[in-house]
């Protein structure tokens, strides 16, 4: 699994706008692009433009080969279960921080891959817009 953060301009304290990849080793973020791409992400999500108002959109992807090498075809099921676990933890953490999170499964995979510069071997599974309640 991989996790990407789409951060808006003047949206998240101490983090500039852009797309970041989460690095579990070291609990760090690495830059992918420095642009605010929330509008593009929302358009790629069947124009659910409400998503662009969230300061942060988190994208969860899977690279199936990492798990199917061990579990074969069944590994795909495990990756999807894991995506649900990650999303649920993000919901819990958002709630603990007084934030609101939502879940978006409706998007054009190829458009999202293009915008976020996700490796072609990864499949985006979920987008989670996160922010304060309106
Ligand atoms: C995997 C998944 C994908 C979803 N994708 C979208 C989406 O693209 N757009 C949207 O507005 N809601 C999406 N939802 C949210 C649901 O439509 C629904 O609002 C949400 O599950 C809350 O359910 P409730 O209204 O019964 O509380 C998704 C939910 C899940 C579980």
Does the beta carbon of 106 lie inside 6 Å of ligand 1? yes
Q: How confident is the model over 24-66, as pLDDT tens digits?
A: 999 999 999 999 999 999 999 999 999 999 999 999 999 999 9
Per-residue pLDDT band for 134 (boundaries 50, 70, 90) equals: confident
Q: What is the rounded CA–CA span in Å between residue 59 and residue 68?
A: 21
Which whole-number Å values give the CA distances from 22 to 27, 30, 37, 56, in the listed order? 7, 7, 17, 13
pLDDT at 46: 98
Does the beta carbon of 104 lie inside 6 Å of ligand 1? yes
Ligand 1 mean position, distance from CA 60 (Å): 16
Does the beta carbon of 52 lie inside 6 Å of ligand 1? no
pLDDT at 115: 97
Q: How confident is the model over 94-112, as pLDDT tens digits?
A: 999 999 999 999 999 999 9
- Within 8 A by CB and 6+ apart from 55, the residues are 7, 8, 11, 12, 130, 131
* Total Cβ atoms within 10 A of residue 65: 10
Q: What is the rounded CA–CA span in Å between residue 117 and residue 98?
A: 31
pLDDT at 77: 98
């Amino acid at each position: 699994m991989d996790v990407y953060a789409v951060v808006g301009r003047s949206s998240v304290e101490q983090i500039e706008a852009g797309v970041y990849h989460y690095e579990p080793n070291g609990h760090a973020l690495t830059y992918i692009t420095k642009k605010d791409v929330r509008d593009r992400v929302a358009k790629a999500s069947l124009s659910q433009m409400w998503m662009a108002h969230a300061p942060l959109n988190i994208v969860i992807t899977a690279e199936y080969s990492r798990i199917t090498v061990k579990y074969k075809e069944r590994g795909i099921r495990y990756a999807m279960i894991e995506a649900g676990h990650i999303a649920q933890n993000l919901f819990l953490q958002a709630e603990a921080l007084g934030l609101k999170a939502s879940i978006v499964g409706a998007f054009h995979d190829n458009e999202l891959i293009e915008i976020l510069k996700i490796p072609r071997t990864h499949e985006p599974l979920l987008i989670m817009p996160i922010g304060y309640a309106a």
